[in-house]
Structure 1
Amino acid sequence: MNKPPRPHRLLRFLAYLFGALLLLVGSGLLLGDHLTPKAVGLPSQALPLQPQQTLIDRQLQPLLAENPGKSGAVYLSDGLEAYAARSIVTRQAGRSLDLQYYMWHDDLLGHLLAHDVYQAAERGVRVRLLLDDMNAAGLDPQMLALDQHPNIEIRLYNPFRNRDGLWRLVEMVQRAFSINHRMHNKAWIADGRVAIVGGRNIGAEYFDARPDVNFRDLDLLLAGPVASDASSIFDEFWNSDAVVPIAALHYSTDQQMANFVSQAELDARQKEAAPYLQRVRARLSDAYLSKQLDLYWTKGVRIRSDPPRKPVGGDSSQWLVTRLVEVLSSAEHKSLLISPYFVPGATGTKALIGQVHDGVQVGIITNSLAANDVAAVHSGYMHYRRPLLAGGVQLYELKSRGHTSKASPFGSSGASLHTKAFLVDDRRGFVGSFNLDPRSAYLNTEMGALFDDPVLAARLHQEYLRLSSPELSYWVYLNKDHELRWLDRAQTPPISLRTEPDTSFMLRASTRVISWLPLESQL
């Protein structure tokens, strides 16, 4: 019997492959609820506050008495300060630590903060750690080691049943639609009194600890009554059916715990960690919250989040995007936005241009292609530059390398914008995890701090001006022929660039090709 011609065999193979993928995804759609691991953890709640139980309680009590009904707030824009704040409140915690993150990297900074958390548990502090599972591949040994401690429990959001290898990839294909929903929340809550929220994940690049690249990011440390907002959000996620204890997905051993402790202690003594930790130790103090932080006290700040699940076509009235759109659409004279991933879509573009026509100053800071760590997102954004600029919107793109002094957190390393914030009318604003793109709006869960306060607004405006400065950003504009140009204002005289700055032809070409694909809803 003659074999079919080679082209026919190839087509048959592709047909079988397509059919297998279709069957796999179809089974995921039909059996999705059965394929997703079930939540089996016992419910728990934030521990009740005590007036004098812990060092944090005692530090804050006189400040709270002087500022009844108010919460203290301070921005953490410097990466070292952001790391120090987490490390210090963890070392000072005496009752509880509730930590909720999208990513916790298996690197030096991840190990150091994990060691701080472990030491807190050794003191008797109850630790609940909630992580998104998408970026947890390969971290099971470390997480299981921590989870084995009697005072630590780790749970995973929307986890994979298959923890690694080929079967994890197969599950990703099978659950393509459900696995796409991720928890992007970021919160570090100590003793129910202090909550750090914002854009930073846990990893060296978020805390100015990498020599090659660092993210320009922003957190808001909040102390006092508003921290209860973060605790309530954490409890809602922790006890939701989208979350599963890691112990139900894998098993741990005593050896894993011993290995984790040894590695964490080794990291703390490493040559590369010594100068970083030396700078942090200069900020360690028993009076950190009450003396070393310039806390501003206000009643005008709240922490808000998406619900643990955001079903397609479901009620979106309680989604964070609904609240943020209400604030942004209320602008009367100024609307300033900072977003590393900016894909406004046709509706958002029309709304921003409409604000300009109504007399509102609209300014946007986002990443240049060279500074963007996800080229696919830039491919979704690039379509909207011309209409935004033509409509009067001011547009700045962060440089991948800033012309800055040694004191700058950019240093000589590469830079990438990761701050997610906006300011409306010099009074209302937001700092958190929400990117101005479809993924944050409809797929991921997000959280952050909304405020209505002129002082917090003024300090955020300073950050906007710094990020949009000639040293750190290009000014994007249209020339007289309606062509895109990037003005490097740090040069003398300023230089106008015709193509995406600091990029290769291959990067520009591949980004353009990606822009032709129907991916915008996933960006």
Structure 2
Amino acid sequence: METTRSRGRKLLRLFGYIIAALLLLVASGLLLGDHLTPKALGTPSQAMPLQPDQTLIDRSLAPMLAEHPGESGAVYLSEGLEAYAARSIVTRQAGRSLDLQYYMWHDDMVGHLLANDVYQAAERGVRVRLLLDDMNAAGLDAQMMALDTHPNIEIRLYNPFRNRDGLWRLLEMVQRAFSINYRMHNKAWIADGRVAIVGGRNIGEEYFDARPDVNFRDLDLLLAGPVAADASRIFDTFWNSQEVVPISALQHNTKQQMKNFIDQAKLEAREQEAVPYLQRVRARLDDSYLGNRLALHWTSQVHIRSDPPSKRKDADPRDWLVTHLAQELGSARHKSLLISPYFVPGAAGTKALIGQVKNGVQVGIITNSLAANDVAAVHSGYMHYRRPLLAGGVQLYELKSHGHTGRASTFGSSGASLHTKAFVVDDRRGFVGSFNLDPRSAYLNTEMGVLFDDPVLAARLRSEYLRLSDADLSYWVYLSKGSDLRWLDRSATPPITYRTEPDTTLLQRATTRVISWLPLESQL
């Protein structure tokens, strides 16, 4: 008995030491603050000046810009293949500059193919600036350093880790828990300062219809003309900010890394996996893409907006993206249609949406069902608000998990999932971008997107909302007479009503419920 008690005391003491060490680690991070963050700032640079006919993109757009003075062309990219093709084409046509800003660039086939397009552009003399968030860059240093070796390519990282991998990176994450939590979620692909692709897609197979087991439904806007200057200005602000560090200051490169990267890229383009995908994409590729295939809609009422790079240090939220979006949504008089994969409106947001319904506004929301959600922890934050929203007259749809296994890990997995982040107000004003309607996008991440006031762009976005909310793709969520949640599958004959979250297991539902009891909402 005494031995058992002694062992118990030793275990408790060991546990206490571990907790104390973690608290000391976090406390040191709080006390030292930004001194722990790498400070190697790069040489400032700016977007390259536009030229009338220097590049193929310049020449392709010139006649259209002349026909639409002061206006910009815009077109939605809703299909994964076309979204990939658009990036590949403008990269191949670029002759002056490529400015690329992303939260995530995966180490997979699509990531490698697009990286090779970027490398080939640099070989033609195009200046390439690549800005990535460092949270998801673990393990990618060799590939990034290979590209950074090229004289025309520079890579910088947002809020980077000093320790690049392994246990030390994990310990740094604990120590800098409060500062490392702020991430750059922006997504932009800017070619020659003339064309900007802005929206919700990261760079990876699941965003471009390249994986049979994953189908992210996403949306970008390709913008051509004067509005691209907004994207260039935002990129320059981030590129030259104190939050950004050149990767060359964090890691060393070798010429052998560049050779390995080139050899691998050439091999991968011929591999069994890439060939059929590129054959599917090839139908989207032709030299007149910008001129003929895109059917650009021209308007002067389109703008690109972003959070500041120093969002966590900026105490004035008036220039934060959430402020602009709240004003747009709050101005609704007839209709608000929202699409958000991660939807955690909070008490204030729920009250505002219900208030709009009381004022005669039709409010509709499309988000992920539990089975379709790739982050179950976010669903645990959303589930609290379904009942009050429905009771208040809000229309709610949840995306089905077609072709999905129904398994989502606690903090992330792959599967058929909604990834579009957009809304349309009064069939005229709208937004498409990286901003989820949740606390993380509002207060922790930097976000960016396109705001417009144009009935044609609004009508096309409304069509996307109607497509996603269609019976084949989404469940209609409603309250029974006893105020219990119900999910209606309107595509079945006769329609099927579910009393629990469709396509999920008891363990899934129980796990999500337990997570919902934790104080995590501010981090979701």
SS for the counterpart of 1:5 is helix
Residue type of the alignment partner of 1:255: Q
Residue type of the alignment partner of 1:278: Q
Q: Report the CA distance between 1:4 and its aligned residue.
A: 6.8
SS for the counterpart of 1:449 is strand
1:281 is the counterpart of 2:299 = no
Q: How does 1:32-431 map to 2 (within 5 A)?
A: 32-311=33-312, 314-401=315-402, 414-431=415-432
Question: Structure 1 CA distance, aligned partners of 2:403 and 2:24?
Answer: 50
Q: Report the CA distance between 1:14 and its aligned residue.
A: 1.5
1:518 is the counterpart of 2:519 = yes
1:433 is the counterpart of 2:434 = yes
Which runs of 5 or more structure 1 residues have no equivalent in the other structure? 404-412
Question: Structure 2 CA distance, aligned partners of 1:286 and 1:14?
Answer: 64
| TM-score relative to the length of structure 2 | 0.97
Q: Are the counterparts in 1 of residues 353 and 363 from structure 2 also a CA contact under 8 Å?
A: yes
Q: Report the CA distance between 1:214 and its aligned residue.
A: 1.3
Question: Structure 2 CA distance, aligned partners of 1:106 and 1:491?
Answer: 40
Compared CA separation, residues 18 and 278, structure 1 to 2 (3 A): same
Question: Structure 1 CA distance, aligned partners of 2:522 and 2:156?
Answer: 28
1:427-467 Cα shifts (integer Å, max 9, x gaps): 00000000000000000000000000000000000000000
Residue type of the alignment partner of 2:53: Q
Question: Structure 2 CA distance, aligned partners of 1:498 and 1:281?
Answer: 45
SS for the counterpart of 1:317 is helix
Question: Structure 1 CA distance, aligned partners of 2:231 and 2:146?
Answer: 26
1:250-305 Cα shifts (integer Å, max 9, x gaps): 00111110111111111111112112111222222221101111100000100000
Question: Structure 2 CA distance, aligned partners of 1:150 and 1:214?
Answer: 37
Q: Are the counterparts in 2 of residues 402 and 415 from structure 1 also a CA contact under 8 Å?
A: yes
1:25-71 Cα shifts (integer Å, max 9, x gaps): 00001112111000420000000000000000000000000000000
1:61-89 Cα shifts (integer Å, max 9, x gaps): 00000000000000000000000000000
Question: Structure 2 CA distance, aligned partners of 1:161 and 1:240?
Answer: 17
1:71-115 Cα shifts (integer Å, max 9, x gaps): 000000000000000000000000000000000000000000000
1:15 is the counterpart of 2:49 = no
SS for the counterpart of 1:213 is coil
**How much is the aligned-residue C-alpha RMSD, in angstroms?**
1.4
Q: Which position in structure 1 is the counterpart of 2:464?
A: 463
Q: Report the CA distance between 1:356 and its aligned residue.
A: 0.3
Compared CA separation, residues 108 and 402, structure 1 to 2 (3 A): closer
Q: Are the counterparts in 1 of residues 429 and 454 from structure 2 also a CA contact under 8 Å?
A: yes
SS for the counterpart of 1:285 is coil
SS for the counterpart of 2:212 is coil
Q: Are the counterparts in 2 of residues 39 and 240 from structure 1 also a CA contact under 8 Å?
A: no
1:447-493 Cα shifts (integer Å, max 9, x gaps): 00000000000000000000000000000000001100000000001
Question: Structure 1 CA distance, aligned partners of 2:355 and 2:4?
Answer: 64
- How many matched pairs? 514
Compared CA separation, residues 110 and 2, structure 1 to 2 (3 A): closer
Q: Are the counterparts in 1 of residues 303 and 450 from structure 2 also a CA contact under 8 Å?
A: yes
1:175-196 Cα shifts (integer Å, max 9, x gaps): 0000000000000000000000
Question: Structure 2 CA distance, aligned partners of 1:3 and 1:456?
Answer: 71
Question: Structure 1 CA distance, aligned partners of 2:393 and 2:4?
Answer: 65
Compared CA separation, residues 483 and 3, structure 1 to 2 (3 A): closer
1:191-239 Cα shifts (integer Å, max 9, x gaps): 0000000000000000000010110000000000000000000000000
Extract structure 1 runs of 4+ deviating beyond 3 A.
1-4
Which runs of 5 or more structure 2 residues have no equivalent in the other structure? 405-413
- Percent of residue pairs bearing the same amino acid type: 81
Q: Report the CA distance between 1:311 and its aligned residue.
A: 2.2
SS for the counterpart of 1:351 is helix
Question: Structure 1 CA distance, aligned partners of 2:259 and 2:504?
Answer: 46
Question: Structure 2 CA distance, aligned partners of 1:461 and 1:3?
Answer: 67
Question: Structure 2 CA distance, aligned partners of 1:156 and 1:10?
Answer: 41
Q: Report the CA distance between 1:414 and its aligned residue.
A: 4.8
| TM-score relative to the length of structure 1 | 0.97
